[in-house]
Every structure is written in C-alpha cells, then in structure tokens.
Amino acid sequence: MNKIFYFLLMVFPASVFAEGTHNHNHHANHHESPAGKPGDINAIDKTIKVDLLDSMQFKFENEPNIKMGETVHFVVRNLGKIPHEFSIGTENEHKQHRKKMRKHPDMKHVDGNTITVLPGETKTLTWVFGKLDTVMAACNIPGHFEAGMNHVFKMSDRNL
C-alpha cells in the first residue's frame, strides 16, 4: 500500500477516514457565497475534470481557465484509497469549514458547494462563479488542506 496512506493512518484517528452520518451546512446561507452559488446543470458553460489523489493533490485535466459569472460543471474522481472533498469557497469559508471538520471529521455534506468523494467514486458539482478575483477549491478533511490539497482559481475577464 501507499506510504502516504500508512502515514495518514498513523497521524489521524480512523474516524477521519470512516464514512459518517453527521450532516453539515458550513454557510449560513449555503445557496450563495461571495465565491458564487450552486449552478444549473442545464446552463453549463464548461466542464472541468479533476482527480483527487492521496498525495494530497488536485489533478486537473487542463489548467482551469474560469471567467466570473461562468457556470462550471466539475467532474470529480477520487483515485485514492481514502475519502477526499472538493469544496469551493473563499479562503475564510474554507478556514471556517476546516474548524468544523476538526470537530466532526465524519460529516457528510448537504450544502451546494462541497462534495465528499469516497475512494473509487466520481461525483459532480456545478457552480456559478461570482465576482471575486480568486476563488479556492479545497479538501478540508483534517490534514488534507495543510498537506497541499487546495487550488486557487484566478478568474479571467469579467462576465458579470
């Protein structure tokens, strides 16, 4: 097995990797954020494929070029052996999310900006990007963000 997997098992309790039942909304209003809002599957401007790796990386098929106001359909595959998240938000939203994840590492997400993807699964997330110049994607499972599992989208020209 992967050395990183063994390391993570030693560092984090097993509950971090177990699928739990704690539901969670980390936005007071999970339908909108300064980073944008959940998008309509029928109004997609582009599709971006991203793999979640146990090396604590997001691997994008191509470097994402996202415009403000664009509706992006993310196809997210977990190629690893442990659960990962794909969450879109502001830096502060991710900071608050990580605090909650440390208290409830087994939570399941019911908000529109975060999906938890189990090993071998593929899930989708559709998002309309807002007016910010930068928006972050992150895995907020304890230790994953800190190990480098995050990506900053720099918005190109304004569509709003």
For 29-149, list the strands marked E by DSSP: 36-38, 46-53, 57-60, 67-68, 71-78, 84-89, 108-109, 114-117, 122-129, 134-138
Average confidence score pLDDT of the chain: 83
On the question of pLDDT at 137 being above 80, the answer is: yes
Long-range pairs, 94-102, Cβ under 8 A, ≥24: 94/136, 94/138, 94/140, 94/145, 94/150, 96/26, 97/26, 97/138, 97/140, 98/140, 98/142, 98/145, 100/24, 100/26, 101/140, 101/141, 101/142, 102/142
On the question of pLDDT at 31 being above 60, the answer is: no
Read off the pLDDT band of 113 (50, 70, 90).
very high
Helix, strand or coil for residue 16?
Answer: helix
What pLDDT sits at residue 158?
60
Q: Which of 49, 121, 111 is nearest to 82 (CA)?
A: 121
- CATH code of the domain made up of 3-9+33-155: 2.60.40.420
What are the tens digits of pLDDT across the range 124-134?
Answer: 999 999 999 99
On the question of pLDDT at 40 being above 80, the answer is: yes
Least reliable range by pLDDT among 25-29, 30-34, 67-71, 72-76:
25-29
Provide the whole-model pTM: 0.78
On the question of pLDDT at 139 being above 70, the answer is: yes
What pLDDT sits at residue 106?
76
* N residues, the chain: 160
- The domain segmentation of the chain, as residue ranges, is 3-9+33-155
What pLDDT sits at residue 111?
76
What pLDDT sits at residue 110?
66
On the question of pLDDT at 136 being above 80, the answer is: yes
On the question of pLDDT at 117 being above 80, the answer is: yes
